[in-house]
Chain A
Amino acid sequence: MSSHTFVLNGERVTVEVADDVRLLWVLRDLLGVTGPKYGCGLNVCKACTSHINGKAFNPCSVPVSAINADDEITTIEGLPATVGKDLHPMQEAWLEQDVAQCGYCQPGQIMNAVALVRRVRAEGRAITDDDLDQIRNICRCGTYSRIRTAIKSGAANM
């Protein structure tokens, strides 16, 4: 058991837990932050996608000891605060397109979409179908086409 500190959704938190416990379980089981979902625990389905210092990552496959005290972890719960609104433009786009069916993958999809738009923008270009084809997040309900539309419209308002 050791002590781990990091910044979660704008607030500094400290948890007592063994080093190798994956961050997903620290968030979900110890801190009660359930927006990031378990869909495989294998860094495959991407349902837990969150941000570390603004970049997408998958907490199911990161030991808590790999997180530094100043690392800023943002989950879906903390996304609106990053733009100082009730909803992030990408969440608004998800509502406009009524993307979700069961909804289980959608927090991860939204977090991935935001990071994708940031990355593509940093490269000085717009999102292409190729970028969208490379998204690995599974949606077992098959909402893919609405996700594609929502990302494009969400990007326009980011």
Chain B
Amino acid sequence: MAEDLRRRRFLAYLVAAPTLAVAVQWLDPQRADAAVPTLPQPEEIFDLGDLQNLAAAPTANLVSVQVNPDGTASFAVPRAEVGQGITTAVAMMVAEEMDLPLDKIHVSLADARPELLMNQLTGGSNSVRSIYTPVRTAAAIARQRLVDTAAKQWGVSASDLTTSGGVISHPSGKTATYGSLAVAAASSTVQAATVQLKSTSDFKVLGTPQNRIDARDIVTGRKTFGMDMQVPNALPTMVRRPPTINGTVRSVNNAAAVLAMPGVTDVVAVSHGVAVRAQTFGQCIDGLRALDVSWGPGTVDGESDATVLAKLKAAELPMVVPGLLTQVLDAEFTFAFASNSPLEPDNAIADVRKDSAEIWSSLKVPIVAQEDIAAQLGLPVGAVKVHVAQGGGSFGRHLFHDVAAEAAEISQKLGKPVKLMWSRTDDFRQGRTHPMCTSRVRVTYALGNVVSYEQRHTSVQTEFSHGLGEMLTSFAAKLPIAGNLSFAESIFLLTQSSPYNFGVTTQLLNEIPVKFNTGSMRNIYSPNVVTAQELVVDQLAAKMGKDPVSFRRSFLRDARVKAVFEKAVSVGQWGRALPAGVAQGIAVHSEYQGAVCCLVEIDCRPATVNRPVTDGVTGPRVTKALIVVDPGFAVNPRGLEAQMIGGMNDGIALALTSSLHMKDGLPLEGSWDNYFYTRQWNTPLDMQVVIAPSGGDPSGAGELGVAPAMAAVACAYARATGTLPTYFPINHGTLGFEPYPAEPSTPQSPTNGLDS
């Protein structure tokens, strides 16, 4: 209760659109012995997940568990499954509270449900946090109702009945399966019911390592992703795209000739390109490449890395602390554009008729997609059905419904169903990006204490027009006055906090409104903000004559962060002897109500850096990686470990190899051999995850590992090479590939596939 009151109080804080003046006021002169304490920042008290939880509260009870006559239970989860394992976690919650085996639970992805308002957004590592209690409550009430029904039928007391494995038993020997009671237990009226949930100590499923419920379908090729769905007559469709981001079509000069090509059924101009529909995707590629199109300008023509960086520098907010009576450490870091493209390219099926439309796509915010697409098509919202497909990854990409909207536009113009796929090159060049940004840090210190820590993060705007799940907040993010920046500032404040007692601490965001296609990438601001912070912490430690670990030990202020940190120091053998050119790095992070520490070892010796790999970046190798995570309660330790491993590989990529090079209004990257996400030759040979739960409710997990992983790799690199990296990823300055031409927008498939 006290917790709730505390949170409610801090809601008002959020609505007031907080500034960081509060942190400036707090300086405790009594504590000269140790670190100068820092006022709790907003993220620690009321974070993004709390905001989403609160937004979800009024409608969370509408999610329901269904018991089927065959003894199984079904639950349509109002979330996207994109690899993070939410369907498995939900099945475990149902299994636990119903006393039903895991393999008797079917979890599907709910269609867009406008009545759920803000409770249908998959993001912010919030899914488990927001549905943990509602799903268990629904399952527990289902079990209770089955027990009550059996008690009534048998004329016994419900308290004498026990449940196990989907069977209800009475001491007399009577038994009934859930399936046999599924009809009798049904209610014809709406009734309120209350139930007591199991206590953590009684859990048999939750908290135990479980494999993914879709693992068998995956390894047999049976899992049906959006790309694999078949809708009658929804033929393959692709788009010839402009040579600059968001370019437009002036004229199509040879539509008839392309229409006559083998397999091609339709050619039509749309907002940002020319669509080609054909019998196979291969013939779409042939057709779109043969098109002769005159293009209009895009939204960022002429913008390149250097021009964007100049704009960012001009927009950087000033530091406040002058540092006249103290020593000052100033640092500035630049982070290149990055792609959140998953392996499955953007795709959607659309079947738009005169009075209705049906859409299939992997969507993390399906209600906004439904409402936007309805408006675009000129149809009432209720006439547009939006189905959420299984996604082959997301990393933030599926917060947006660009591909679904484009499929709807094409289908409406053609009057035919289409299965639209963006090519790999489209995904990198015209898809959403993590925006380029800079992070400046100024630290002042005196007499063994850190007096102030200021961080000024400046970014090309991160688009949040998907809001928190429905049109109300989506619309707020588009308003010119409140607008994207204040929404982004709120998100920034709700996700960022410094884990150190560094006295006066301010972390501020400014954005520049340059019209790239941006969006949240896994862990949004944190990987960049934390990397800048941890590199500065290591510099500060050196200036103050301390080892990175003993320095952090003195200044870390949160007990949970301290605990994962100490565990990592001991398990990872901090300080063990390593050859020259090989070094350890350590970084901490706290977000989503979880705490995490990453310790890595990186090999920067020439023999490793210069390993030859055809069409790939080698460079320094993280040979050993350890993540210690305190998730509060680990719903599925095996899934949590998987998320940490993924976060580690993301962090390695962001620190060392993966970025987009913006040139004349278009990224140069067009394939996975241009955009260097971590490959087998970059991944740690020794990867270890330690789960150290401190108790309480589960934290968010999907994004938690990325920031500390990137930061630890950066810190290790700095220590191994003796140079402070200031531009990320570290290989961004070297273009390691020959770019595909800007036109035609999709390269032809080669013919060398037999030589693999």
Closest Cβ of chain A to B30, distance in Å, is 46
Per-residue 0/1 for B67-103: is the Cβ within 8 Å of any A Cβ (1 yes, 0 no)? 0000000000000001111000000000000000000
- Which stretch (B169-177, B197-205, B277-285, B544-552) binds chain A? B277-285
Question: Which residues of chain A have C-beta atoms less than 8 A from B680's C-beta?
Answer: 132-137, 144, 147-148
| Interface: A95 (CB within 8 A) | yes
| Interface: A54 (CB within 8 A) | no
Do B756 and A141 touch (CB < 8 A)? no
Do B424 and A45 touch (CB < 8 A)? yes
| Interface: A5 (CB within 8 A) | no
Q: Give CA–CA (A148, B683) in the complex, Å.
A: 10
Do A61 and B672 touch (CB < 8 A)? no
Do B220 and A80 touch (CB < 8 A)? yes
Dominant secondary structure of chain B at its interface with chain A? loop
Option from B424, B648, B754, B756 in Cβ contact (under 8 Å) with A40? B424
Option from B211, B215, B221, B751 in Cβ contact (under 8 Å) with A77? B221
Closest Cβ of chain A to B619, distance in Å, is 14
Do B344 and A37 touch (CB < 8 A)? yes
Known contacts A61-B751, A144-B649; A38 and B345 CB within 8 A of each other: yes
Q: Give CA–CA (A121, B82) in the complex, Å.
A: 36
Option from B216, B344, B753 in Cβ contact (under 8 Å) with A104? B344
Per-residue 0/1 for A12-36: is the Cβ within 8 Å of any B Cβ (1 yes, 0 no)? 0000011011111110111010111
Question: Which residues of chain A have C-beta atoms less than 8 A from B747's C-beta?
Answer: 42
| Number of A-B residue pairs at CB separation under 8 A | 232
| Interface: B684 (CB within 8 A) | yes
Option from A23, A132, A136, A146 in Cβ contact (under 8 Å) with B645? A146
Question: Which residues of chain B have C-beta atoms less than 8 A from A17's C-beta?
Answer: 263, 279-280
Dominant secondary structure of chain A at its interface with chain B? loop
| Interface: A3 (CB within 8 A) | no
Chain B, range 587-642, C-beta contacts under 8 Å to A: 613, 615-616, 638, 642
Question: Which residues of chain B have C-beta atoms less than 8 A from A63's C-beta?
Answer: 751
Q: Give CA–CA (A1, B262) in the complex, Å.
A: 8
Chain B, range 406-426, C-beta contacts under 8 Å to A: 421, 423-424
Option from A102, A142, A143 in Cβ contact (under 8 Å) with B344? A102
Question: Which residues of chain B have C-beta atoms less than 8 A from A29's C-beta?
Answer: 236, 279-282
The chain A residue with its CB closest to the CB of B286 is A20
Closest Cβ of chain A to B245, distance in Å, is 20
| Interface: B1 (CB within 8 A) | no
Known contacts A30-B280, A60-B753, A146-B642; A42 and B424 CB within 8 A of each other: yes
Do B224 and A34 touch (CB < 8 A)? yes
Closest Cβ of chain B to A102, distance in Å, is 3
| Interface: A7 (CB within 8 A) | no
Do B684 and A145 touch (CB < 8 A)? yes
Q: Give CA–CA (A25, B753) in the complex, Å.
A: 14
| Interface: B750 (CB within 8 A) | yes
Known contacts A29-B280, A94-B215; A145 and B677 CB within 8 A of each other: no
Known contacts A134-B680, A138-B677; A37 and B392 CB within 8 A of each other: yes
Do B685 and A129 touch (CB < 8 A)? yes
| Interface: B679 (CB within 8 A) | yes
Do B672 and A40 touch (CB < 8 A)? yes
Question: Which residues of chain A have C-beta atoms less than 8 A from B227's C-beta?
Answer: 34, 37-38
Q: Give CA–CA (A8, B685) in the complex, Å.
A: 37
Do A110 and B219 touch (CB < 8 A)? yes
Per-residue 0/1 for B18-62: is the Cβ within 8 Å of any A Cβ (1 yes, 0 no)? 000000000000000000000000000000000000000000000
The chain B residue with its CB closest to the CB of A92 is B219
Question: Which residues of chain A have C-beta atoms less than 8 A from B746's C-beta?
Answer: 41
Do B283 and A76 touch (CB < 8 A)? no
Per-residue 0/1 for A35-77: is the Cβ within 8 Å of any B Cβ (1 yes, 0 no)? 1111111111111010010001111111100100000000111
Question: Which residues of chain A have C-beta atoms less than 8 A from B391's C-beta?
Answer: 102
Known contacts A39-B344, A58-B756, A104-B225; can you find 20 more A-B pairs with CB under 8 A?
A17-B263, A23-B753, A29-B236, A29-B280, A34-B224, A37-B392, A39-B672, A40-B672, A41-B424, A42-B747, A45-B424, A95-B215, A98-B638, A100-B215, A101-B393, A103-B217, A133-B680, A134-B680, A142-B646, A144-B678
Interface CB pairs A-B, < 8 A, 18: A30-B280, A34-B227, A37-B392, A47-B343, A66-B754, A77-B221, A103-B215, A104-B225, A104-B342, A107-B219, A129-B685, A134-B613, A136-B616, A136-B679, A138-B677, A142-B647, A145-B684, A148-B683
* Contact surface of A with B, Cβ cutoff 8 Å: 1, 17-18, 20-26, 28-30, 32, 34-47, 49, 52, 56-63, 66, 75-77, 80, 87, 91, 94-95, 98-107, 110, 129, 132-148
